[in-house]
Structure 1
């Protein structure tokens, strides 16, 4: 794709963007879950089910708060920063006006998502009376993107930032989709995630298209340089260190005996996914790399060999 071939989604945004079309989501006072069990494995551990199953909803409320906190950081500190610079033509890669207009709609959407998430947190606090515990000041991307950019020459930092944000936005889309499909949670939570997904599907295509425009015009030497840095980014992005630290903080706030806390910590430590082709987010990441044409490049294939699925052997 060349920059001149880019087609704006301005009309789609006007007709379908959640800030244009969706009502305020009000949290229900019902018996459904406020957060999916599948997204907080702590409450499904043997120790939790045996020792403190009555604390499930408390743990899920705190997990919702962390998710909302993560969304606000991601939308306002990560995506907003990159999209805003593109929209204002302050990016090293020059994009045509149609791209920059769409980038500004991304800024509007993402800040609105953060506002909606904060509103939902306030509603949940009012409904449950549960105040948030200490929430992380950063997400994995807060570390992964700077770590990657520190390895890049100055002229490639914006290009690498574009790719990192594109990977993250495409990963988030599937993450939110899983949320929206879960019938065990409150309708307001499902609606909140479905609204978010409607915008994120558009965003994921936007970042893939911009990355494709850049990648197809990039010099081979620049492609190789970026490819060599990608594993550093993925290693930091796919870690569960921040989630593990939050789970430990949550465990410390549970009204249980010290021996139960220790048992829960042991089970949390066993939850990490290997950072290789078996990681559950890798499928989404590889789809982005294919749709942006990056995975067509031998240098990317070589750099990410550790993350690519093992070839099937015919029996």
Structure 2
């Protein structure tokens, strides 16, 4: 692999990583929200606003618990796994030592993010006395990666994993940024998200550079094979099916009448985010595909034409 274009994140990590520079954050007992209203459309539906606004804080609290749970799954079961394999030179794609060292900084960061998330979960349960409902054991990425790998030749499974994780790390940044800037949220939660964002920006750069290294060395046949499975990955990654299932579970725990419960279910079923260029995460994905070099490959632009009408122009 040609390391001419690769710039290590190690020095930046030494100076700025939140595990080295941030104190423990403590949850405030104040009137601010623990989770943004805009991230939980159930509480903004007409039926909810008219008939059960008293359940708002319960729904937001459980949504915060799910968010924490999703963070832990994402960081420890997926990103940590991939980064650790690269760091320990157990990945099918061999990377130079400088990349493996950088990968280990990502492992440290992601495990620390999971630790902080669990700390907030524990603090929240202690403060509210409300236990989490049964939380999902998967996130969208848990399904998207194996679905895409199943359509790729076995020797490309790790390459698909690398690109899928890189896409996720480049989209989570936008998600976290919106959370950290919401003034309606408790200051400590916003601070936690700002810390997370501080590290994720560095991670996004790392994964983009790593994918660019791989893509430059990949042969045309492997590039075309990977291009073929990218639509499958995006279809599973960008769906809101898991969120809908969680919201329907939440509705079952609300003390409301049968008619209102059914109306809430109907409104949740009606909530949809079509996977088109208007999807809120597509812009970040296009940026990643461009900066990593994938979008300059004709088969990638062609495969994603239905999702990314601007693919050709972005290249």
Q: 1:310 to 1:216 in 2, by over 3 A?
A: closer
Distance 1:198 1:61 in 2: 25
91-100 or 299-308: which moved more?
91-100
In the alignment, what sits opposite 1:11?
A: 11
For residue 41 of structure 1, what is the aligned residue in structure 2? 41
Distance in 2 between the 1:200 and 1:310 partners?
26
Cα deviation for residue 75 of structure 1 reads 0.4
- Aligned positions, number: 311
Unaligned runs of 5+ in 2: none
Name 2:96's counterpart in structure 1: 96
Which residue is equivalent to 2:256?
Answer: 256
CA distance in 2 between partners of 1:145 and 1:167 (Å): 11
What is the rounded CA distance, in whole Å, between the counterparts of 1:9 and 1:215 in structure 2? 20
- The root-mean-square deviation of aligned C-alpha atoms, in Å, is 1.2
Q: How does 1:1-150 map to 2 (within 5 A)?
A: 2-150=2-150
Q: CA deviation at 1:109?
A: 0.5
CA–CA distance in 2 between the matches of 1:81 and 1:310?
33
Worse-superposed segment, 91-100 or 187-196: 91-100
- Shift, 1:4, TM fit: 4.5
Say whether 1:212 aligns with 2:215: no
Shift of 1:310: 6.0
Shift of 1:7: 2.1
Do the aligned partners of 1:7 and 1:98 also contact (CA within 8 Å) in 2? no
Deviation at 1:309, TM superposition (A): 3.4
Q: How far apart, in 1, do the equivalents of 2:270 and 2:295 lie? A: 32
Listed as ranges, the matches of 1:278-293 within 5 Å are 278-293=278-293
The CA distance in 1 between the partners of 2:227 and 2:164, in whole Å, is 12
Shift of 1:5: 3.9
Q: How big is the shift at 1:6?
A: 2.0
Q: Scaled by the length of structure 1, what TM-score is found?
A: 0.97
Cα distance in 1 for partners of 2:102, 2:169 equals 15
SS in 2 for 1:305: coil
Could you tell me which residue of structure 1 aligns to residue 235 of structure 2? 235
Displacement after TM superposition at 1:301 (Å):
0.5
**Structure 1 gap segments, 5+ residues each:** none
Report if aligned partners of 1:37, 1:44 keep a CA contact under 8 Å in 2. yes
Secondary structure at the counterpart of residue 306 of structure 1: coil
Matched position secondary structure for 2:278: coil
Structure 2: distance between partners of 1:155 and 1:53:
53
Question: Cα distance 1:248–1:153, how it changes in 2: closer, same or farther (>3 A)?
Answer: same
Q: Report the Cα distance in structure 2 between the residues aligned to 1:23 and 1:30, rounded to whole angstroms.
A: 20
Do residues 274 (structure 1) and 274 (structure 2) align?
yes
Check if 1:226 corresponds to 2:218.
Answer: no
**Rounded Cα–Cα distance in structure 1 between residues aligned with 2:23 and 2:50:** 41
